[in-house]
Amino acid sequence: MDSQKTGKFIVGSIVIFAIVFFVINIVLSTMQDKAKHVVTPESMTEEAIAERIKPVAEVHVGEPPVVVEAAPIIEASVESGEQIVANACALCHSTGMMQSPKLGDAAAWAPRIEQGINVLYDHAINGFNMMPARGTNPSLSDDEVKAAVDHMLSLVK
Smallest gap from residue 103 Cβ to ligand HEC (A) = 10
CB-nearer residue toward ligand HEC: 39 or 48: 39
Answer yes or no whether residue 86 interacts with ligand HEC by CB under 6 A: no
Is residue 77 within 8 A of residue 85, CB to CB? The reply is no
Distance of CA 125 to the CA centre of its chain: 18
Answer yes or no whether residue 127 interacts with ligand HEC by CB under 6 A: no
Answer yes or no whether residue 49 interacts with ligand HEC by CB under 6 A: no
Answer yes or no whether residue 128 interacts with ligand HEC by CB under 6 A: yes
Smallest gap from residue 54 Cβ to ligand HEC (A) = 21
Beta-carbon contacts of 89 under 8 Å, excluding residues fewer than 6 positions away, are 135, 148, 152
Binding residue for ligand HEC, selected from 132, 133, 150, 155, defined by CB under 6 A: 132
Binding residue for ligand HEC, selected from 99, 139, 141, 154, defined by CB under 6 A: 99
> What's the rounded Cα separation, in Å, for the pair 12 and 9?
5
> What's the rounded Cα separation, in Å, for the pair 111 and 22?
51
Q: Is 87 exposed, middle or buried (0-12, 13-18, 19+ CB in 10 A)?
A: buried
Piece of 1-9, 37-45, 69-77, 93-101 that binds ligand HEC (CB under 6 A): 93-101
**Which among 54, 98, 97, 45 is positioned nearest to 73, based on CA atoms?**
54
Q: What is the largest CA-CA distance in the chain?
A: 82
CB-nearer residue toward ligand HEC: 49 or 149: 149
Rule CB under 6 A: which residues touch ligand HEC? Answer: 84, 88-89, 91-93, 97-101, 112, 115, 119-120, 123-124, 128-132, 134-136, 145, 148-149
